[in-house]
Each structure stands twice: as C-alpha cells, then as structure tokens.
Chain A
Amino acid sequence: MDLSRDQLLYMYRMMLTIRRFEEQAIEFFTQGRIRGSMHLYIGEEAVAVGVCSALRLEDYITSTHRGHGHCLAKGARLDYTMAELLGKATGYCKGKGGSMHIADLDTGNLGANGIVAAGVPIATGAALAAQYRGTDQVAVAFFGDGATNQGVWHESLNLAAIWKLPIVYVCENNLYAITVPAREALSVTDVAERAKSYNIPGVVVDGNDVLQVYQAARTAVQRAREGQGPTLIECKTYRYEGHYKGDPCVYRSPEEVRQWKETRDPIKNFATFLMEKGGVSPQVLDQIQWEVEAEIAEASRFALDSPEPEEENLYEDVFVSC
C-alpha cells in the first residue's frame, strides 16, 4: 500500500464526516426540516471514500438516490450540501433538487439520480466525452445491486466495452433492492460475474474495507486512464438504515443489522486498523472526531440560517437562455 499517513487519516476523516453529516440529516428529517424521501448511506461510507480517493478532481462520477456519500467524498462542501437538503437558496441546486438530485459539476459530480441505473449511461457518456476530447479523465458510475437488473445498465457496459471507454462501474451491493433480497432478484451470486458478458474485468471486494476498495479502484482507474477500458467492481456492503428514512425493514432481521454494525463497521474497523497497524494514537482520532463535529455544526448553522428560494426564480434554469 502506497498511502501516506495523511491519506489514511483523510480517509478516516471523510468516512466519519459522511456518517456525522447523515446523522445530522436524520435529525433534520425527524424535525420535518427535510421533505420528501431521503436515502441514507450510513454503513457504506468505505465505498465512496475508497473509490473517490483514487480519483482526481476533474474525473467524473454519477451518483444514485443514496448519494450524499459520493457527493461529499468527491469534494463537495458540507454547507452547500446540507443547505440543499433543507431546500435552501444557497444549496447546490438552489433548493430545486434536494437529497436525491445533488450535483456539483465543479468537483466532477454529474449528479445523484432518482431513477435506478439512470446515472450509469450518463457516466458512460462522460467517459465517451473524455475519450472524444482526448483528455485523460476517468468516469465512475456508482449504483446498487438493484440497478444491475435494469436494461440501461447492461447497454452501458456493452457500449463501454466495445468503445474501450475510460470508466469504472462501482456496484454497492448492500444485499437489498429496496426490500427484495439480492439472492431473489439476481441471476448470479456476485454482480461482478456479469462482467464476463461484456468481456471486461469484474472484481469483488469487501466494501466495508476502505483500503480494499481503494486498491481495486486504483487499479481500475489506472487501467481506464491508460485506455484499456472499463472495469466492474462489486463492493459487498450493507446499509444500516432502511431503504429510505422511515422504512420498517420487515425484510431483514434486527440480528442481521446488529451483526453488521458490531463486526463489520467500516469506520470502527478502520480506526482499529489505524491504531494497531498505522501507529495512530487514539488522541489523534479523537481530535479528528471533534473537528468533524464542529464542521457539521457549522454547516448545519449555515443551512438553517440560509434564505428560502424566491418564487420569482421558479422559471429559471428550465433552459439555458441563449
């Protein structure tokens, strides 16, 4: 592993940031400050952080309905992201998108998406644009296990394979497509097996181990950047919350959830790794935790204090005015 101590601590900090951000979002949701549907990433932080740590700022990602983690890991600001969740004028989408549609083109994030698998062809197209323009940018499409049953998912992998596009397909297999267990909905045990149909590499990693995810992503990104085409990475992971905030989770046992939380938590396990193998003292991790708490508090204050969008801007941004 070629990661410096700073990079390792950055990964820890970012995973913790995503988790604390979402815990705060749950509070706002419970208070009725966040409307509509909100899909939480808690438990899956290692995937976004591991993959985005292998990317450059100018590389592209497309995200999913469960998108807060990708957005922050790619470099979005906490304050604008939280403001968008609260529907404020200062949010990334001026309050017009909300939790499910956050995009930040300055950090290469082409957006979260409310339609399962819809970001996959969009990322494929971003990779096509990179190839067409002769840049060495790479695109990453994040998606869940459920998305791999959609037609456009298969169409996209085929396109990327025949055109050797610079893209990495990252499956977050959290075992359930809304409420349906993956074993009932997938024709394969591992999503990665589907790579064979498209004659591209498919690898399985422990999605709760940020270093494993990073390692796989780094190899795939390098391959893409060198013009060797796409890779499919399947990250086995788990979401602690339901599909959406408020999901009663009748499809899985509390025992299963407890086991994942206790034995496979990506943040807790990485903290142990850092202390046992990385020579990081508990004080350093505590310090990071306090800093993260303070950043979340500041972003939340910003979001709460921000103005509501004006009605007069309702018709703005339907079209680029020419």
Chain B
Amino acid sequence: MREITYLQAITEALREEMQRDQDVFLMGEDIGLHGGIFGATKGLFQEFGPHRVRNTPISEAGFVGAAIGAAVANTRPVVELMYVDFTMVAMDQIVNQAAKLRYMFGGKARVPLVIRTQQGGGRGNAAQHSQSLEAWFMHVPGIKVVVPATPADAKGLLKTAIRDDNPVLFLEHKLLYGTKGMVPTHDYTVPFGQALVMREGQDVTLVSYSYTLLKALQAAEALANEGVSVEVIDLRTLVPLDLPTVIASAQKTGRVVVCHEGHKRCGAGAELAALVMEEAFDYLDAPVQRVGSLDVPIPYNGNLENKVLPQAEQIIAAVKAIL
C-alpha cells in the first residue's frame, strides 16, 4: 500500500491492463502526447505508442460508434469522453447500440467496451461541463454504471470494467482527481455490485457515491459530534446495484437519506427511495429523504454554483428533518 491520487490510480489501472492484455487500446480526444485533458493517460502514449493510445478527431458519435464496432470485432477499446456532457453527442451509440446489441442479437454479440468520462461541478465549468448524468444511463438496460469515490476503488473498479465483456460507463468526478488515498501495489480488482459500508451507525443511513460520498462522510462526522450515529454506504456501482446492503442498513436504522450530485428530480435517489420503500417499508420510521442538485442548469458564478450543488449542510438538514 502507498498513497496516490485518484488520477494516478486511473492511469495505473489503464497501464496495467494494457500491459496485461494486447487487445486493450485507448481512444479519445487529446489522450495521446498531451495525456488527456485531465492527465489520465499521461505517459501512456510514450509507453504504448499511437497504435494503442489513439487520438481521435472531435467526433464523439463517430468514435464511440467505432469503438462499439471494434469491441464486437474482438478488441477491448477504452474510450475517454472528455466530459460526461459529451455523452449526449454520442447518445445513439451508447443507448441504442452498445446497450442493446447483445440482447437484440439474441446473445450473439459481446461488447467489451469501457467509456471513461468525468462529471460533476464545483469548478465553474458551468452548464455544459458540470452535469452528473448517471441516472440517464441507469435507466437503460444493457449498460453498467460505475461511480468510484476513492483512489483504491477507482483503480480496482476500472480494472474490473476493462475485463468485463459488457459495455461499462465509468464515471469519474473532476473534483476527485486530486484526492489521495491508500492503494495496494499488487494486482487487484474490485467487483461490481458490492457496496461498502464506510462508517457504521445506528440512527440513520446515508447512501451515496462518487464525490458526494465525501460530503456525506463530513456530514456524518458533524452529526456524530451532536450525538447522532450515522451509517454511510458507498454504492460504488449503480448498475449492478447492491440493494441488499442498503436494505440491511435501512432495516437497522429505520431512516434513509440518499445523497448525490445529480439533479434531485428523477435522480438515482428517486430510484433508491422507491426500492427502499418497496423492500423495507415496515422497517422505516420516516420517509426516505433525497439530497441532490437543485433542478436548474449548473450556474457559472461560484456562489450560485455552491447553492445548486449538494453540500454537507443540506445532508445534515435532511438527516435532522427525519430524526
């Protein structure tokens, strides 16, 4: 174990999987010599060459579509989309093609494709570069959705994604890239569909993932100082979803708050709240609460942006509302 950043963890996962498997190659905008706009592929072009670290034109629909074709034709492409907002440009490819080919072909095709991208606000990138769109993809059967919060998970989950024979949308968060954490030095993977209880508690359960998990942990710490015992769950993957861990916790605490940076309306929290009510209604002592971004486009101004994105204070308030 040693301490590295989330970004370094991503780069390590890419490097190790490319060393392990010749079929793995990277495609994306500015990922070559430049090393990616956030630096996730830094050094890989020099190490593996232009054949395996492939700069693309600014042509998201075209190269995501090509990656799907390459995946069906026995390679394992890992595509970088610079911002999650740009998935919208390639939406037909992701939703109508990647997610559906296997099913509509009766199980004939495999689509071992990873689309890596980063999402979230907090840097003043404004409405078209700050969204959190995981709920859009959770809605579509046929694509896995991964939302790591820590460096160790970022590396282990990315390795699992690259080895998976299905299309995977791997959602990093721009504010997590600089965060540090202990990461094993040996080859390891983190399985999909296994949530992690980050902090045990008795009074209320906070369900979260990605960057908002850090705020949920801050909220839990502050509430502990006031004598409230908070359990915090990191979902790590949304598809597949580890519902049993959430339900077990809901049965124990009787109170659940779901926190994420996606907009509150039709966000992942709506689905989780409904699932908790369907599976654990008799155990609940209060309605399930949701904390998400306000239902407006993400504004540029820093003060306004902070108001729109969920903060620890809103999570604390949501907990207190049901105590």
A residues apposed to B, CB below 8 Å? 60, 62, 91-97, 101, 103-105, 110-111, 113-115, 118, 120-130, 132-133, 139, 151-152, 155-156, 158-159, 162, 316-320, 322
- Mask of B82-115 contacts with A, CB within 8 angstroms, 1/0: 0000000000110011000111111111100000
Chain A residues near B96 (CB-CB < 8 A)? 114-115, 118
B125 on the A face (CB < 8 A) = no
Q: Choose among A95, A115, A158 the residue that contacts B92 (Cβ–Cβ < 8 A).
A: A115
Q: A155-B61, A155-B62 are in contact. Are A92 and B97 (CB under 8 A)?
A: no
CB-CB nearest in chain B for A129: B73
B64-72, B228-236, B295-303: which lies at the A interface? B64-72
Q: Is A118's CB under 8 angstroms from B69's CB?
A: no
Q: Is the CB of B109 within 8 A of A110?
A: yes
Report whether B105 and A125 are in contact in the complex, using a CB–CB cutoff of 8 Å.
Answer: no
Interface string of B110-153 (1 = CB under 8 A from A): 10000000000000000000000000000001101000000000
CB distance from B305 to the nearest CB of A (A): 32
Q: How large is the interface on B (under 10, 10 to 19, 20 to 34, 35 or more residues)?
A: 35 or more
B57 — which chain A residues lie within 8 A by C-beta?
155, 158-159, 162
Would you list 18 pairs from A and B whose C-beta atoms are within 8 A, ordered by A residue? A93-B106, A96-B104, A101-B104, A103-B108, A105-B72, A118-B65, A121-B63, A121-B68, A122-B69, A126-B72, A127-B69, A128-B75, A129-B75, A139-B69, A152-B92, A152-B93, A159-B57, A317-B106
Q: Is B177 an interface residue (CB 8 A)?
A: no
Known A91-B106, A122-B72, A125-B68; judge A318-B142 contact (CB<8 A): yes
Which residues from chain B contact A322 at a C-beta distance below 8 Å? Answer: 164-166
User: Given A104, A128, A129, A155, which contacts B108 in the complex, CB threshold below 8 Å?
Assistant: A104
For residue B20, CB closer than 8 A to chain A, the reply is: no
Are B51 and A159 within 8 A (Cβ)?
no
Q: Knowing A93-B108, A103-B108 touch, does A125 contact B72 (C-beta < 8 A)?
A: yes
Q: Cβ of B70 and Cβ of A129 under 8 Å apart? A: yes
Which residues on A sit within 8 Å (CB–CB) of B104? Answer: 93, 96-97, 101, 103, 111
Residues B106 and A121 in contact, CB atoms below 8 Å apart: no
List residues of chain B with CB within 8 A of the CB of A114. 96
Q: For the complex, what is the distance from the CA of A60 to the CA of B109, rounded to whole Å?
A: 13
Give the nearest-CB partner of A309 in chain B: B106
Point out which of A62, A96, A130 has the most chain B C-beta atoms below 10 A from its C-beta. Answer: A96
Inter-subunit contact A125/B65 (CB<8 Å): yes
- Closest beta carbon of chain B to A5's beta carbon, Å: 35
Which B residues form the contact surface with A (CB < 8 A)? 23, 25, 51, 56-57, 59, 61-75, 77, 92-93, 96-97, 101-110, 141-142, 144, 164-166
- Measured CA separation A205–B240 after assembly (Å): 50
Contact of A96 (CB < 8 Å), options: B73, B106, B166: B106
B166 to chain A minimum Cβ distance, whole angstroms, is 5
* Contact in complex: A132, B70 (CB < 8 Å): yes
Q: Would A125 and B69 count as touching, CB distance under 8 A?
A: yes
Given A318-B141, A322-B164, A128-B103 contact (CB < 8 Å): no
Q: Which of chain A's residues have a CB closer than 8 A to the CB of B110?
A: 320
**Known contacts A111-B105, A155-B61; 18 further A-B pairs (Cβ under 8 A):** A93-B106, A94-B107, A96-B105, A97-B105, A103-B109, A111-B104, A121-B68, A121-B69, A122-B65, A122-B66, A122-B69, A123-B69, A129-B74, A132-B75, A139-B69, A152-B61, A159-B56, A320-B166
List the A residue with the shortest CB-CB distance to B160.
A322
Closest Cβ–Cβ distance, residue B64 to chain A (whole Å): 8
Q: What's the Cα separation between A151 and B74 when bound, in Å?
A: 26
Q: Closest Cβ of chain B: how far from A95's Cβ, in Å?
A: 7
Residues of A within 8 A of B141 (CB): 318
Chain B proximity of A64: nearest CB distance (Å): 14
Contact B102 A124 (CB under 8 A): no
Min CB–CB distance A308 → chain B (angstroms): 14
Say yes or no: A121-B65 contact (C-beta < 8 A), given A115-B96, A162-B57, A320-B166: yes
Chain A residues whose C-beta falls within 8 Å of the C-beta of B166 in the assembled complex:
319-320, 322
Question: Measured between alpha carbons, how far is A319 from B73 in the docked complex, in Å?
Answer: 17
Tell me whether B73 and A118 are in contact (CB under 8 A). no
Asked if A96 meets B103 with Cβ closer than 8 Å, knowing A118-B97, A132-B75, A322-B165, the reply is yes
Is the Cβ of A317 less than 8 Å from the Cβ of B66?
Answer: no
- Chain A residue with minimal CB distance to B51? A132
Contact of B70 among A101, A118, A128 (CB under 8 A): A128
Report how far A130 CA is from B72 CA in the complex, Å. Answer: 11
A124 to B74, CA, bound (A): 14
Known: A94-B107, A118-B96, A159-B56. A133 touches B65 (CB 8 A): no
Q: Which of A93, A105, A110 contacts B69 (CB 8 A)?
A: A110
The residue in chain A whose Cβ has the minimal distance to the Cβ of B71 is A125
For the complex, what is the distance from the CA of A129 to the CA of B71, rounded to whole Å? Answer: 8
Partner of A105, one of B25, B64, B109, B142: B109
Q: A103-B108, A110-B72, A115-B92 are in contact. Are A156 and B65 (CB under 8 A)?
A: yes
The 9 closest A-B pairs by CB, nearest first: A125-B69, A121-B65, A155-B62, A93-B106, A129-B73, A125-B66, A317-B107, A94-B106, A122-B69
